[in-house]
Chains A and B, each alone.
Chain A
Amino acid sequence: MTAKTAAIEGWYTLEEKAPHLIGTQCTSCKTYYFPKQSNYCRNPDCQSENFKEVPLSRTGKIWSYTNASYKPPEPFVAPENFVPFTIAAVELEQEKMIILGQMIGGVDTADIKVGDPVELVMDPLYEDEDGEKLIWKWKPVGDPS
């Protein structure tokens, strides 16, 4: 069995059933941050420097979507035979923010539309001599047919 580790350390949990992104939340104005922000709150009316790490919602709705038809440049690590992938911008209701990520393989842009529900999963971003490097991806929820 190949080892599975995070492509970016400390940004998300790796459990198989219900992984989630790790964000931070300002303890004063409650604003969420992803990627994590722990030094200063970007709310212009908030001077807080106190943050706590929080799990972010693992489901949301598609704000918009596109794909990468061509291999992105480095630091993207592409397999030898590049396969185009779909990308979604997903709105998290509780956090009131939009987070980008790849869709899982096999989901084409023709299969989804704005407003569709998706959930967060862990999936390989690339593989090297140490094993699979995992990243968050979005997966359609429910029966797509």
Chain B
Amino acid sequence: MSSDIAILGVGLHQWGKWGENFTKYGVKAARDAIKDAGIHWRDVGFVSGAGTVRCGYPGYVAGATFAQALGWQGAEVNTSYAACASGSQALAAARAKILSGDVDVALVVGADTTPKGFLAPAKGYRPEDPDWLRFHIGITNPTYFGLYARRRMDLYGDTQDDFAAVKVKNAKHGYHNEYSRYKKLFTPEDVAGSPMVADPLRLMDICATSDGGAAIIVSSVDYAKKISKGDAPRIAAISTVTPTFAGAVVEMPDIATDSAVAMDAQSFRAALPIKAYEEAGIGPGDISLAEVYDLSTALELDWIEDLQLAKRGEAAALLRAGDTSVGGKLPINASGGLASFGEAVPAQALMQVCELTWQLRGQAGERQVEGAKVGITANQGLFGHGSSVIVKR
């Protein structure tokens, strides 16, 4: 039995930094997605919200918050929270509901308003909370990105110029995206001239936090056919698998890995796509483009290898050859990625799926990847888990 569902409509709110109520962003994205799908809001039987922990109770119960804002019409609601992977888990909940036959059409929606500067933990002396502990000893999110980046340099010979080239490429992609926050064509000199944050990474290597909203209307394939959208892009896989013990890479917010005394170490980034490819019945060779979580420039290169789109240590060679640019063999982050958007946590994984949808429909304008047939996303939550979604025509 096929586990595909159809993507009928997608919508985004502009990414930026306005500090307004997150509900507004989500409603705008949802209305765009509903209009794009050509359905009525009352046709939606399930509202799957990606939660946010920074906007009070309305954020904790995001599914109900958005359903109320769009107008109560009796749909069932759900809220998923998994930090940056919240959107994918909300999408997985919608798929389960559709495949079980419970509903035909679901709205998946996430939006956030983010504070300025470093994301910081809750207050009070709590050494048993790994998030508190790591900040206490001076370890922020960029620390982890710096560790991964430096390891690439020492092991594979990647350079800071390579990392800067990722930013330049993604900025160029994002320049053509009406929803991106930063519309500036950065030069390698801009990146090299920005202040060091977590050696070897500079400010321009690390993604910002943003306000934004994303929404997707999904349905059963039968329903899509019924409304003459049988050729709509489909979600062929949603992978949210955990890593397997023992975790090999030190992951936010932990200060230590598992001990691999009892069994071999594994990483979650490598585990995610294996399940996704298996579920979609395809392999890395079938991929036309990928949207990966470039929390830092160097992390984009790690993801390319984890998705098996390059051998370990060889992603920078693809970058240098221009393969990962739009127009190249395997465009990465054609949307502009987090480098151009900044991260709006519960919306970000959904935004990746929106981009793949536009690309597969051939509606991506200046950043269109010619002949795009299959796209994959990769996204990272906390404690070494994340998500990967495959969209195909």
| Interface size bracket, B side | 35 or more
B326 at the interface (CB under 8 A from A): no
Contact in complex: B139, A31 (CB < 8 Å): no
CB-CB contacts below 8 Å: B246-287 with A: 246, 249-250, 255-263, 265
A64 touches B138 (CB 8 A): no
Nearest residue, chain B, Cβ from A97: B259
Residues of B within 8 A of A35 (CB): 127-128, 130, 133, 255-256
Q: Quick check: A72 and B118 within 8 Å, CB to CB?
A: yes
Total A-B pairs, Cβ < 8 A = 147
Structural contact, A76 and B258, CB atoms closer than 8 A: no
Q: Chain A interface residue count: which class? A: 35 or more
A42–B137 touching, CB < 8 Å: no
- With beta carbons under 8 angstroms apart, the residue of B154, B261, B265 that contacts A30 is B261
Task: State whether B257 touches A98 (Cβ < 8 A).
Answer: yes
B347 to chain A, nearest CB (A): 24
Cα(A114)–Cα(B127), bound, Å: 29
Residues of A close to B317: CB separation below 8 A: none
Give the residue of A32, A66, A70 whose beta carbon is less than 8 angstroms from that of B147. A66
Alpha-carbon gap, A34 to B255, bound state (A) = 8
Interface string of B218-255 (1 = CB under 8 A from A): 00000000000000000000000000111001100001
Q: How far is the CB of A110 from chain B (nearest CB, A)?
A: 9
- Cβ 8 A contact of A63, one of B118, B136, B151, B196: B151
B120: which A residues are within 8 A, CB to CB? 73-74
Complex contact B154–A114 (CB within 8 A): yes
- Residue in B closest to A32 when the chains form the complex, CB atoms: B259
Residues of B within 8 A of A44 (CB): 244-245
- Give which listed residue, A31, A34, A66, A109, contacts B262 with CB less than 8 A: A31
Answer yes or no: B155 CB below 8 A from chain A CBs.
Answer: yes
Measured in the bound complex, the distance between the Cα atoms of B130 and A8 in whole Å is 13
Q: Measured between C-beta atoms, what is the minimum distance from A11 to chain B in Å?
A: 7
- With most chain B CB atoms within 10 A of its CB, the pick from A35, A46, A96 is A96
Query: Which listed residue (B123, B142, B146, B258) contacts A31, Cβ 8 A?
Result: B258
A76 and B250 within 8 A (CB): no
Q: Which residues on the A side are within 8 Å of B123 (C-beta)? A: 74-75
Known: A72-B138, A73-B117, A85-B138. A31 touches B151 (CB 8 A): no
* A97 lies within 8 A of B260 (CB): yes
Interface residues of A in 1-54 (CB under 8 A from B): 7-8, 11, 26, 29-35, 42-46
Within 8 Å CB of A120, what residues of B? none
Q: B199: CB under 8 A from chain A? A: yes
Chain B neighbourhood of A109, CB < 8 A = 150, 199-200
Looking at chain B's contact residues, is the secondary structure mostly helix, strand, loop, or mixed?
A: loop
CB of A64 within 8 A of CB of B148, answer yes
B135 CB within 8 Å of chain A: yes
Which residues of chain A come closer than 8 Å to B146, judged between CB atoms? 66-67, 87
Of A85, A96, A101, which contacts B259 at CB under 8 A?
A96
Q: What are the residues of chain B within 8 A of A29 when measuring CB–CB? A: 261-262
A68 to B246, CA, bound (A): 28
User: Is B262 within 8 A of A76, CB to CB?
Assistant: no
Most buried by B among A29, A75, A115: A75
Interface residues of A in 120-145 (CB under 8 A from B): 125, 135
Known: A70-B197, A75-B135, A125-B137. A114 touches B118 (CB 8 A): no
Within 8 A of A (CB), among B143-164: 143, 146-151, 154-155
Q: Is the CB of B118 within 8 A of A73?
A: yes
Most buried by A among B150, B246, B256: B256
Cβ-neighbour of A69 out of B149, B155, B196, B246 (below 8 A) = B196
Q: Are A97 and B135 in contact (CB under 8 A)?
A: no
Which of A33, A65, A87, A98 is the one whose CB lies under 8 Å from B138? Answer: A87
Is the C-beta of B195 less than 8 angstroms from some C-beta in chain A? yes
Q: A66-B150, A96-B261, A113-B154 are contacts. A72–B255 as well, Cβ < 8 Å?
A: no
Having A66-B200, A69-B196, A115-B154, one finds 17 other A-B pairs with CB under 8 Å, namely: A8-B127, A30-B262, A31-B259, A35-B128, A64-B148, A68-B138, A72-B139, A73-B117, A73-B118, A74-B135, A75-B132, A87-B146, A96-B265, A98-B250, A102-B138, A114-B150, A135-B137
Interchain Cβ contacts under 8 Å between A and B, 24 examples = A8-B136, A29-B261, A31-B261, A32-B259, A35-B256, A43-B246, A63-B147, A64-B148, A66-B198, A66-B200, A67-B199, A69-B197, A69-B199, A75-B123, A77-B136, A87-B147, A89-B250, A96-B259, A97-B258, A98-B249, A100-B143, A100-B256, A101-B255, A125-B136
Binding site for A on B (CB under 8 A): 117-118, 120-121, 123, 125, 127-128, 130, 132-140, 142-143, 146-151, 154-155, 195-201, 244-246, 249-250, 255-263, 265
Q: Which residues of A are at the interface with B, using a C-beta cutoff of 8 A?
A: 7-8, 11, 26, 29-35, 42-46, 63-70, 72-77, 85-87, 89, 95-102, 109, 113-115, 125, 135
